[in-house]
Amino acid sequence: MDGTPEMMDVSTEEVAAEPLVGMMDMVLLTLLGVVSIYYFFIRNTNKKEDNSALKSFTISPTQLAPRASDSSFISKMKSSGRNVIVFYGSQTGTAEEFAGRLAKEATRFGMKGMVADPEECDMNELAQLTEIDNHLAIFCVATYGEGDPTDNAQEFYEFLQNGDEQLDGMQYTVFGLGNKTYEHYNAMAKYVDKRLGELGAKRLFELGMGDDDANMEDDFITWKDAMWPKVCEVFGIDSQAQDINMRQYRLTVLEDYDPARLFTGEIARLNSFKVENQRPPFDAKNPFMAEVGVNRELFKGGNRNCLHIELNIEGSRIRYDAGDHVAVYPVNDQVLVSHLIALVGEDPEKVITLTNVDEDSSKKHPFPCPCTYRVALSHYVDITALPRTHVLKEIAEYATDNKEKEKLLLMSGTSEAGKAEYQRWVVQDVRNIVHILEDLPSCKPPLDYLCELLPRLQARYYSISSSSKLYPNTVHITANVLKYETPTGRINKGVCTTYMQNQRPDNDTKLHMPIFVRKSQFRLPSKPQTPILMIGPGTGIAPFRGFIQERNLQKEGGKPVGKTVLYFGCRNKANDYLYEEELTAYRDSGLLKVRAINVISDPS
């Protein structure tokens, strides 16, 4: 995905989706599709753009500025005898995870690989890869937003667009992470593959593309299992992989430590979550601890919940526009955290450090260390994600029951029976690592190994549902609380929406959530008189609420405002007509034409 790599401007909850889709949901999705088509049509009218490539930017200079010597990946590769480097462009962690798996597998084929973040590397050195025998550069890149590169691949993309460095003889292959339901499917991977070829590089294996709407894991495995034999053939080495278990991180248990030096959930800088230690600018590595001013229920009845949250950003220097996203760093459910720790028989308050065994790696720890197991599993490790097949293979070694071990190995393999069982038992039954260890009780992997194997807990992005022109000191979020029953009878909850639901302030307690704002290209027309049509089912109304607020301010300021039309889809108008009073007031003022479509009783 990279999570969900090609994001639309709607609220998202990056957890396993509810497995059953009804007719009503299909209607809502159809409505959302209509607004997407309309939006892209309106924005792209009068634009001549080649959709096979990414958008162009004016960048100067044509090459990346030289970096410090520690950004020289060539020096690291030569000094440590490496011949394979895997670059990743990742927004939600999946591409980074795939890159790590590829670098690890290189060792099984007698090669030596390393993972690299292009944002931390001097990409001008790519041409020097030809100085290394049997070299290979693998690019694992996700597409984000409207065919854009991920944040950490932005400079690399600009380098490819504007650089004239010849890469004659550089051997490479590309795997992309995308979603076919979006317009710019794997645009970044296609561009990287095409542009590297134009600069003279030699494609060693065909472009691979993973589809998150289908089965990203299966796409990746199919591609890499065909890629390695081809690489071995070109390099003239044995293509029979060695079945070896390689740990990436070394565990150190701290008995003597200063409690003030332990991480407690911070993303990068120690103690940065303390309000008195906050320092701008605020971004993904330095989120702002925003005080929760309002956290109220929007639904009027029923058994579902929808939150309206207002976060105070006064004094933070954070600026946003209607249509932008706010990212929230969630905390895992403490009941689930405690249960996982108990399943493997570990001490939740044990203080640990995990250190990369590769001394040349720029990533010294999988997450901020030292910390306790409880902190690691609460703030840094995604324990609700569906485990990928390589995780099942690794933990199978710790199952003492032969049938349980065989089941894990079957699902981690590439046979049709194994793929079908993984799809049924893990994906369709929506089993996370806690559920798997519950159902296979003889399997008790070391907790530090689970911390290494499981993906990093990522920020969740939500469309901001306010206009900074009306609310300059607050950011509003509109989000459905995800909660559903799985086929096994378990109740699964959304990580971030459950966390946010519990952040309800009172007169005695101030609550804060770590956030940052990510800019979007989803904007109102520059001319207020341009008519707009908005179709927002459910919480898809979020960005449009900000647009309507902004149009109303323009109208009150005496500007001519074009026709403003909103179609809002809901399950039951009596219970979940979001912001009904606000929208009615805008309608009565003459600004807005709105129709709330009750999908259940008014499917037309």
3-class secondary structure for 333-375?
CHHHHHHHHHHCCCCCCCEEEEEECCCCCCCCCCCCCCEEHHH
Q: Are residues 221 and 340 in the same domain?
A: no
Query: How far is the C-alpha of 74 from the C-alpha of 135, rounded, in Å?
Result: 11
Give pLDDT, residue 19. Answer: 36
In this structure, is residue 445 part of a structural domain?
yes
Helix (H) or strand (E) holding 28: helix 23-44
Within a domain: 501: no
Residues 340/435, Cβ–Cβ less than 8 Å: no
94, HSE (Cβ side, Cα atoms, 13 Å): 28
Amino acid at 178: G
Mean pLDDT of 113-137: 96
C-alpha 451: how far from chain center: 18
pTM: 0.84
Q: What is the chain's percent helix, strand, coil content, to nearest 5?
A: 35, 20, 45
Among left, alpha and beta (phi > 0; psi -120 to 50; other), residue 476 is beta
For residues 90 and 207, membership in a common domain is answered with yes
Average pLDDT (114-133) is 95
Domain boundary among 235, 250, 265: 235
Domain end marker among 196, 218, 235? 235
Residue 408 lies in a domain: yes
Domain of residue 118, residue span: 62-235
> How confident is residue 71, by pLDDT bands cut at 50, 70 and 90?
confident
Same domain, residue pair 228 and 81: yes
20: in domain = no
Domain-located, residue 432? yes
Question: Could you tell me which of 153, 78, 80 has the C-alpha nearest to residue 119?
Answer: 153
- CA distances 310 to 318, 324, 505, 582, Å, are 15, 15, 11, 16
The CATH number of residue 398's host domain is 1.20.990.10
- What pLDDT is attached to residue 69? 52
Q: Helices then strands (H, E): number in the chain?
A: 17, 20
Distance between CA atoms of residues 393 and 140, nearest Å? 22
CA distance 184 to 43: 15
Buried b (16+ CB within 10 A) or exposed e, 478-503: bbbbbbeebeeeeebbbbbbbbbbeb
Contact in structure between 313 and 278 (CB atoms under 8 Å): no
* pLDDT tens per residue, range 312-355: 999 999 999 999 999 999 999 999 999 999 999 999 999 999 99
Give the pLDDT confidence score for residue 70 in this predicted structure: 65
338 and 231 both lie in a single domain: no
Coil vs helix vs strand at 467? coil
Which residue type does 445 have? P
Strands 460-463 and 491-493: unpaired
Q: Is the pLDDT of residue 361 over 60?
A: yes
- Residue 517 in contact with residue 324, Cβ under 8 Å? yes
> Can you give the length of the chain in residues?
604
Task: Give the count of domains, the chain.
Answer: 2
Residue 487 lies in a domain: no
205, two tokens: 């294996």
Write the pLDDT tens digit of every residue in 520-561: 989 999 999 999 999 999 999 999 999 999 999 999 999 999
228 and 342 share one domain: no
| Percentage of the residues of the chain whose pLDDT score is greater than 70 | 87
pLDDT reading at 174 higher than 80: yes
The two three-digit tokens of residue 253, written as one number: 């248990």
| Residue linked to tokens 């409505």 | 31
* Boundary-marking domain end, from 177, 211, 235: 235
The answer as to whether 102 is a domain residue is yes
At residue 4 the predicted structure's pLDDT band, cuts being 50, 70 and 90, is very low
Same domain? For 230 and 378 the reply is no
3-state secondary structure of 557: coil
Residues 220 and 346 in one domain: no
